[in-house]
Amino acid sequence: MATRDFTVHTKDGDRPLTVDFVRCYNLGFTMRDPVKMQEHLQECYDLGIKELIVERPPLVMPISTWAVLTDDHIEVQRPRTSGEVEIVTVVDKDGTLYVGVGSDHTDRSLEGYDIPWGKQVAPNVVARDLWVWDEVKDHWDQVQMKCSVIDNGEEVAYQDCLVSEFWTPAEMAQGVRESTQPIDGPFILFSGTVVSLEKKLRFAESWTITMIDPVLDRRLEHTYTVTVLASDVLNDGSASGEVASAASLVGQ
């Protein structure tokens, strides 16, 4: 279990919300357009990630709840990690749905050997602000998501899409309920993402994830920076070294 504090922004004002998560799930195959979904999968496959086949979506990957962070800064072991903008669905213990924006930061080298492993070793970052699903569901398809990065000191637009490209938060929550054992308590879902504008993954030092509601004229936004711990070690941290180490571990 992991306890996290949020601010819920409603039409009537703001209120605090503390959630004791009992489960976190990273989802895959939640895009409505299979062609666009394949485009994102292909940019992952180009890095050596094994091809995925899912007979009954969504793909559900359990992640330890301690990996869910609302921090402005994260630490990772190796250089080849990246984030992405995603729909976050929070299902509270009473069944209330909240929506937010997040990034399931991932070690792409480990992901080539085991996808949940690659996602588990890096944080699942979520913005501290949420909306109530019932207040946005009637105009949900108009909501926009964006991601920008700072890579080698340069600010770059990385992703831009409408949430209508994905299942709704309610559909994702139901898909998880149908694919898992009963969940006794609050849980959080990360939706998966779209292909980057450049159709390639970046390993940037800063990530800004944004969700924009044009109808209610408001936004959720969160920026986090990344420190690569291996860069502190003079005889470690090379990309070739991390791949070799991962390969030897998988073989054990």
Question: pLDDT > 70: what percent of the chain?
Answer: 85
What is the SS3 assignment for 191? coil
C-beta neighbour count of 135 within 10 angstroms:
18
Predicted local confidence at residue 40, as pLDDT? 57
Question: Taking 70 as the threshold, does the pLDDT of residue 54 lie above it?
Answer: no
Q: Which of 174, 158, 35 is nearest to 97 (CA)?
A: 174
Predicted local confidence at residue 43, as pLDDT? 63
For residue range 95-149, list pLDDT tens digits in order: 999 999 999 999 998 988 888 999 999 999 999 999 999 999 999 999 999 999 9
C-beta neighbour count of 225 within 10 angstroms:
14
Strand partners, 16: 7
Longest Cα separation, the chain: 56
Sorting pLDDT into bands at 50, 70 and 90, what band is 252?
A: very low
Predicted local confidence at residue 112, as pLDDT? 80
Question: Taking 50 as the threshold, does the pLDDT of residue 15 lie above it?
Answer: yes
Please state the pTM of the whole predicted model. 0.88
Single-letter residue type at 24? C
Domain ranges for the chain: 2-246
CATH of domain 2-246: 3.90.850.10
CA-CA distance, 208 to 53, in Å (whole number)? 31
Question: Taking 90 as the threshold, does the pLDDT of residue 223 lie above it?
Answer: yes
What is the arithmetic mean of pLDDT over 206-233? Answer: 96
Q: Which of 137, 150, 120, 159 is nearest to 213 (CA)?
A: 137
Question: Taking 70 as the threshold, does the pLDDT of residue 71 lie above it?
Answer: yes
For residue range 139-193, list pLDDT tens digits in order: 999 999 999 999 999 999 999 999 999 999 999 999 999 999 999 999 999 999 9
Cis peptide before 58 (omega within 30 of 0): yes
Cβ–Cβ < 8 Å for 239, 184: no
Q: Which of 80, 114, 87 is nearest to 103 (CA)?
A: 87
